[in-house]
Amino acid sequence: MRRRPLTEAFSQAVSYLFTLQSLSYLTLGTGIGLLFGAIPGLGGTTALALLIPMTFGMEPDSAIVLVGGIMGGVPFGGSLSAILLNTPGAAPNAATCFDGYPLARQGKAGTAIGAAATASALGGLIGVGVMLAVIPIAKAIVLLFGPPEFFMLAVLGLSAIAVSTGGKLIRGLISGGFGLMFAFVGFDDVGGGLRYTAGIEYLWDGVQLVPALIGLFAIAEMIKLLTVGGSVATIGGPAIIDRVLDGVKSVFSNLTTLLRGSAIGSFIGAVPGVGGTVASFLSYTFTRQISREPETFGQGNIQGIIASEAANNAKDGGSLIPTLAFGIPGSAEMAVFLGVLVLHGLEPGPRLLLEHENVIYGLIMALSLACVLASAVGLVLARFLVLVTRTDVQYLAPIVISVALIGAYALQSSLGDVVAAMVFGVIGYFMVRFDYPRITMVIALVLGGIAERSYHQSLMMSDGSLGIFFTRPVADVLLALIIISLTLPALRLLARRLRK
Amino acid sequence: MDVDSLRRARVPLVLILIMVGALIGSYDYEPSARALPVLVAWTTIGLLLLEFLVQLGTPLGRRIETFFQSKTDEEESQPVPVSRALMYAVGWPGFLVVMTVFVGILPAVLVYVCLSLKFVGGKSLSRALIVALAVTAFAWALFEWSMSYQLYRGVLMGASGF
């Protein structure tokens, strides 16, 4: 088969995308993405899963454009609820809460939204650019990671995030430990038996991530607000958004943070199974650790928003690499996206790149445009969205709790998910009250399965020897990063004392 | 060692008991199935012991706190008052879940939002009803109308339970 030049496929995709029909699908997808992203607990995976049947009668190109719009819109939608409600629309937006929400409470929600919109758009574009550049060498990169490396990567994700919890390293690791134990609940892939289910049938499939997220963030936050009363924003007065442009400008004055976050997001996104949560938190952690003012993070430092949002959006481009090139989904969202491709007769893998280049480039273009479109729409709507922070919590809480619990049910049509979300809501509330970071528990829930599977696969490869984790170059590099991340607070303290 | 330190140290102590329970339970499983859970449980118990020492405020605890930079946010970690507000905050969503099981999602949301606004928020009945109807209509429009997705109907309406 003759392979068409890249430029031909690219120009074909561009000419298709800039038709009225495609732009309509793109706008619709972006709007749906923003909505699903902003509603805590729904997110991109739910949006794609619920909309798969709707794309059935569509042309593959149109379906891909619609899906690209959704994937581009979800991350920024999630950052809006993270900033305004301290409730991430999805797990990858959780890092945005750390500094976005404090800014909202200081009456600077507009600045935070402006920075998030710009970092999202630029991060998304950089991620797509990286994808275009990396596709030719993608296979070699992905093949560097075997089970020992995946195990080390999971441990690195957990330790790096515990360090990033602002002086709560021990409690962060404890939360992670409990999160891992939750992740072990259910059917054991290796031994084939059930663990920690207490005879509850719902738990046979394990603790589901989305209800846990809804509980730990959306419901816990609402319980907390209900006990305090008032509104999300502690600063009173009219909801004037006059600093959106300040947020936009702040991204350009922190270009290094943007580029670093985008690079981390693209790289982590390309590693199958790790996903955007690790990307945004690693980016946040790294930015905080190398900052000259690490103590300002968590208090409303704009760099925290830029770092996490750039990585969160850049990871989409990165995670398309293994999804399209090898049929290995980089995240749950990508796994659902694979379903969309297969539904439309597009078999993921190297042949897809050879035979359907126009579809691939159409998707890339759609994703790029959706990133910009979502941010533009978000900026326009920021003035109205910020009113959410001024709403009386007695109105806000029942509405958010209702929508969040409906979202929990909608994912799998399971009442068990509704109960699980409520249980995790109470757990999350007490974690907030006793100052135990919730995010390490979430990361552990995400990484627990990968960690355990990789651990057993590694031991099978080495006939039970733990040495396999220490004798492979990439695993060694990751181990070094784990040690550095765990000892960095102590080393920093030591350096400060020596300086004195 | 003051009363506050002892009170704060109760949290890691309770968590140690929970984790020890999980650890003991782990030994019921096959060696391969319990390998990583046991490792995680022991590590977490170790960390909880460190946290226990930190919260007790002993000299060793203070050293650990300094080394790990593991300070406690005094504002956040105040004792949790079992107040009426907390009971309402947890009880009302619990009421929503129970209602959902019996009458289904949409009627439960309507009743929950309305009653919550009226009795917890102190809003007028007409305002509470308008907001409740708006939220229910939004949920219906988003899921049932636009996505043809049937929300749970409730065991009293003939739907199966869990």
Say yes or no for a CB contact (<8 Å) between A177 and B47.
yes
Angle at A401 between CA A83 and CA A213, to 5 degrees: 65
Please write the tens of the pLDDT for every residue from A158-204: 787 677 666 688 898 999 999 999 999 998 877 788 999 988 989 99
Please list every residue in chain A whose beta carbon sits closer than 8 Å to the beta carbon of residue B117.
Answer: 394-395, 398
Instruction: Check if the beta carbon of residue A86 is closer than 8 Å to that of residue A221.
Output: yes
φ/ψ of B70, rounded to 5, equals -105, 70
Considering only the beta carbons, identify the residue of A170, A392, A401 that sits closest to B50. A170
Say yes or no for a CB contact (<8 Å) between B89 and A50.
no
Ramachandran bin of A58, using left for φ above 0, alpha for ψ from -120 to 50, beta for the remaining angles: beta
Q: How many angstroms separate the Cα of B143 from the Cα of each of A183, A235, B54, B104?
A: 30, 35, 49, 14
Nearest CA to A269 among A255, A258, A283, A257?
Answer: A283
Instruction: Check if the beta carbon of residue A232 is closer than 8 Å to that of residue A393.
Output: yes
Taking the whole predicted model, whether its pTM rises above 0.90 is answered as no
SS3 call for A442 = helix
Q: What is the DSSP string of A245-263?
A: HHHHHHHHTTHHHHHHHHH
Q: Which residues are bridge partners to A187 per DSSP? A: A194
Q: How many angstroms separate the Cα of B161 from the Cα of each of A28, A359, A415?
A: 36, 43, 7
Mutate to test the interface with B, among A185, A399, A443 (most CBs of B within 10 A): A399
Please list every residue in chain B whose beta carbon sits closer than 8 Å to the beta carbon of residue A177.
Answer: 19, 40-41, 43-44, 47
Q: Which residues are bridge partners to A392 per DSSP? A: A231
Distance between CA atoms of residues A364 and A65, nearest Å = 9
The interface predicted TM-score of the complex, written ipTM, equals 0.89
Secondary structure element (H or E) that encloses residue A299, with its range: none
**Closest approach of B116 to chain A, Cα-based (Å):** 7
A273's tokens: 């199974």
**Closest approach of A398 to chain B, Cα-based (Å):** 6
Instruction: Check if the beta carbon of residue A167 is closer than 8 Å to that of residue A467.
Output: no
**Closest approach of B106 to chain A, Cα-based (Å):** 9
Say yes or no for a CB contact (<8 Å) between B15 and A392.
no
Mean pLDDT for all residues in chain B? 84
Distance between CA atoms of residues A368 and A364, nearest Å = 6
Considering only the beta carbons, identify the residue of B22, B73, B139 that sits closest to A403. B139
Q: How many angstroms separate the Cα of A275 from the Cα of each of A318, B71, B123?
A: 10, 30, 43
Residue with more model confidence, B69 or A393: A393
The reported pLDDT for the residue numbered A62 is: 81
**Closest approach of A223 to chain B, Cα-based (Å):** 5
**Residues of chain A where predicted confidence (pLDDT) is lower than 50:** 1-3, 236-238
Neighbours of B48 (CB within 10 A): 26
Residue B27 contacts by C-beta under 8 Å, 6 or more apart in sequence? B34, B38
Considering only the beta carbons, identify the residue of A227, A398, A430 that sits closest to B117. A398
Say yes or no for a CB contact (<8 Å) between A432 and B76.
yes
Please list every residue in chain A whose beta carbon sits closer than 8 Å to the beta carbon of residue B33.
Answer: 188, 190-191, 193, 195
Please write the tens of the pLDDT for every residue from B94-135: 888 999 999 999 999 999 999 988 988 888 999 999 999 999
DSSP B118: I
Distance between CA atoms of residues A286 and A288, nearest Å = 5
Q: How many CA atoms lie within 13 A of A473 on its CB side?
A: 1
Instruction: Check if the beta carbon of residue A307 is closer than 8 Å to that of residue A257.
Output: yes
